[in-house]
Structure 1
Amino acid sequence: MTPETTPPGGATASTSERLIESTRELLWERGYVGTSPKAILRRANAGQGSMYHHFSGKPDLALAAIRRTAGEMRAEVARLLDGPGTALDRVGAYLRRERDTLKGCPVGRLTQDPDVMADPALRAPVDETFDWLRNRLAEVLAEGRERGELDAELDPAVTAASVVAVVQGGYVLARAAGSPAAFDQAVTGVLALIAGHAATGSR
């Protein structure tokens, strides 16, 4: 939600909402150090001092922004992984979901920010999100193995970790190449590897 956005119901976004959304955008674009209070206030179209009226300071506001970004990502991924189809269908839906590939993962990019990683409070939502993602993917793959969709040789936990690594690495390759093709190729590759474990009757 940008400062100009009007949420459902027609009411103008509150100052605290604009501050959080502006901080989310700036963290994604510039990182923690580059997200200055002045830049946040300018983007949020908020008056000087409003940050400290709603939050104790930049770290508190950044934490609220990171938690929201992580929460939205988890909700979207859960919707896809909890959807219909085989385990491969559901993992494929997650891997093929619409992304701003060249901009990178809004949560994953935080792992490259030394200031975020050095602060236990700011780092916690990032760690929790990736832990949740690996575990949920492993659960889906385990379900597929139990249903006979995937063969017994597939290791759900190892495969889930590989899927997450491919996605995050795919973002890096795409940004380096300036093209989403590298990401798409990585995703296609990991899906083919999982498909190679499809049980004979489900191929």
Structure 2
Amino acid sequence: MIIMRNMDELMEMDLPRDWIAAAHACTCNPRKLPHYPKDWIPANCPHTSVQHPGGLTSPPRITESSPRTYTLLNSGTVVLHPSKELAESVIHYLSTSPLVPTFSFPDQDLLAAHFAGRWKVLPWCYNALKTLREIHKPLWRDDEVRCLHYILHDKPWSTPRGTAGIYELQNGWWWDTYDKLGQEMQASNPEGWAIVDAQVTKLP
């Protein structure tokens, strides 16, 4: 993930102490991965129901008639009030709920189930999944992205420049950020930068 715009407003949002705030999961399954739930199709994706500019202020609403997928969050960006009591309640749910074995995506399915009815939906821009730019064009705007989330296995740090296909632009933003960090660290902490740089895949 990289921060594209300041998002400090999340630190001051009105959120009850036992609630969570997060953006919806994208349930389009564009790669048609067979292990994804069968109801993960574009028609059921919460992001399909909104477009720019409304999606910046009015994220998809969860109603009694909403598809099941509308109750699913993506855990890339979450806002909550950390406390011992909240942590213990999550651990207790994880240890006792009969739903746990049914979770397809353990971390975010756990949070969605535990905070059911206590979830404030964030606009897409605070957890801008890299795939949204390609499959939800009516919603996405480059200049509105606050936090860019590199979902799926082909991360930019393991995908050299020029090899990312349709995600070349999004990955390029990561590489630009990485190059800037490199310039700063090489000047202030060259040994630390050598450790970081060794973890990144580059073309020969």
TM-score using structure 1 length: 0.25
**Structure with greater Cα Rg:** 1
TM-score after normalising by structure 2: 0.25
